[in-house]
Amino acid sequence: MSVLNTSEMEISTFFLIGIPGMEHAHIWVLIPICLMYLLAILGNCTVLFFIKTETSLHAPMYYFLSMLAFSDLGLSISSLPTMLRIFLFNATGISPNGCFAQEFFIHGFSAIESSVLLIMSIDHFIAIYSSLRYTSILTSARDFKIGLIFAALCIMFVLPFPFILKRLKFCRKSLLSHSYCLHLNVMKLAFSDNRVNVIYGLFVALTSLLYLGCISVSYMLILKLILGIASHKGRLKVLNTCISHICAVFIFYVPWPPFIALPKNVSPVIRAIIADIFLLVPSNESHCVLSDESAD
């Protein structure tokens, strides 16, 4: 009985990992990680500053871009504390409440990013399909309502995650497989029934795939409109306005399949590097989009 109680105790600390087997080199690994964080934070703050101060950028596409920059910024700040503690001080412990909170913010800001990319794809379609009525269709008040509704939906979708994790009991072995907390990763450590977590996590994942499907449909319709433009120069001009956003969609969604579907026999080092790239790369989307939109 004592053995059972020891192995099935409610833990007080989760342990994150950096790059397994390279603990001695964590300080050197920290340099590129810090550079990526610095690029993401400064870049997104610059985007928000320019959109706020430049009156020429007070347009629907830039309001949505500011939402993307805000979610990118939030995603970076959500994971920064644990990354710094692991790679700078080799401090891998995190309390369950701290882990659940970080997981909520990471999933929440990721969901907002996905929603904004969907909104921007619809915005591009309206701008091309009905350019003369664009400003009357997407007014500032309507943009604000759309952004608010989607942000509220994202929070509602992600809000149950910490609570359904908190109800679980965890084994003494509480070693997570990333440098930050994710619902799927934490859920796997539970020895109690986690079917609710599996079902709800699958529902949220399918919702995200639905967003991707809607984005794909939007761009197929946009491509159809572009091919209908008689002028070659006109087609190129319209296509150029979409390239940066298409790149942002690829940056956000392409890391998902290798991150989720990694075989169990993959080296822990490769797994850790892919996990860090999965989180860091999408945080640099918005300033890339702004530079391309401004050039147009």
pLDDT of residue 286: 60
Q: What is the pLDDT of residue 47?
A: 86
- Residue 66's Cβ-side half-sphere holds a number of Cα atoms within 13 Å equal to 17
**Banded pLDDT at 291 (limits 50, 70, 90):** low
- Say if residues 283 and 75 touch (Cβ distance below 8 Å): yes
Q: What is the pLDDT of residues 162-197, one digit of tens each?
A: 999 998 888 766 788 888 999 988 998 888 888 999
Q: Residue range 140-165: average pLDDT? A: 91
pLDDT digits (tens, 9 = 90+) for 22-71: 777 788 888 888 888 888 888 888 888 988 888 877 777 788 888 888 99
Structure tokens at 193: 């029934």
Distance CA 5, CA 57 (A): 61
Residue 7 reports pLDDT greater than 50: no
CA atoms within 13 A on the CB side of 42: 6
Q: How confident is the model at residue 264 (pLDDT cuts 50, 70, 90)?
A: low
Instruction: Give the C-alpha separation, 211 to 238, whole Å.
Output: 23
Contacts of 125 (CB under 8 A, 6+ apart): 218, 221, 222, 225
* Three-class secondary structure of residue 1 per DSSP: coil
Helix (H) or strand (E) holding 15: strand 14-15
Residue pair 17/86 in contact by the 8 Å Cβ criterion? yes
Question: What's the pLDDT at 251?
Answer: 80
Distance CA 287, CA 40 (A): 8
Cα 166 to the center of its chain, rounded Å: 23
Query: 88 with 27: CB under 8 angstroms?
Result: yes
The mean pLDDT value for 240-269 works out to 75
Looking at residue 259, what is its pLDDT?
Answer: 65
Q: Is the pLDDT of residue 254 over 90?
A: no
Find where tokens 């990333």 sit.
178
Q: How far apart are CA 198 and CA 212, in angstroms?
A: 21
For the ranges 75-84, 100-109, 244-253, the lowest mean pLDDT is seen at: 244-253
CB neighbours of residue 178 within 10 Å: 22
Using the 8-state DSSP alphabet, how is residue 188 labeled? T
In this prediction the pTM is 0.87
